[in-house]
Amino acid sequence: MKDFKFIDCGVLSDGEIELVVKHRLTVDKAKENGYPKGYPPQYTFDVRLAGKPEAIGWVQLRIGRTKWVTTQSGNVGYEISESYRGHRYAAKACNLVKQVALAHGLKTLWITCNPDNITSRRTSEILGCELVEIVDLPADTDMYQRGERKQCRYRWDLGELKND
């Protein structure tokens, strides 16, 4: 991804939540910080309630098609603070980063999660993702070292961005 360029995302909003870029991670910076081989450029967005300054969570978008992304980390990661869960903010945030993925030419995204993470699995279903498989994590991965053993792999076919 030598020629990769981050885009100016501005504030992404659906009227209920908004995403603001918190930081961007280049491949070189990922290597410097000891991220796994195959770590692509990444956007991290704060998730906020529209018009509010404090973050209620985050969503990450990894731009790339490396083996590490498609089998372990996924293109998308997210977390919503516990007191704000139950409003589908993670799914709404994913739908907002979809336009950034499409702007980078991605038509399919991968979302991965632990099989026991029912909330994340439900978010993937809400998005219309397809569960492709549940895989064993290799013993040399950071996730395996943290005690995780399996990973659900969901494929999210983005289609086209609609201009309503």
12-157 architecture in CATH? 3-Layer(aba) Sandwich (3.40)
Write out pLDDT tens, residues 72-126. 889 999 999 999 999 999 999 999 999 999 999 999 999 999 999 999 999 999 9
Q: How far is CA 26 from CA 35, 48, 97, in A?
A: 11, 24, 18
Q: State how far the Cα of 136 lies from the Cα of 150, in Å rounded to an integer.
A: 4
- Residue 164: band (very low, low, confident or very high) from pLDDT cuts 50, 70, 90: very low
Domain boundaries, the chain: 12-157
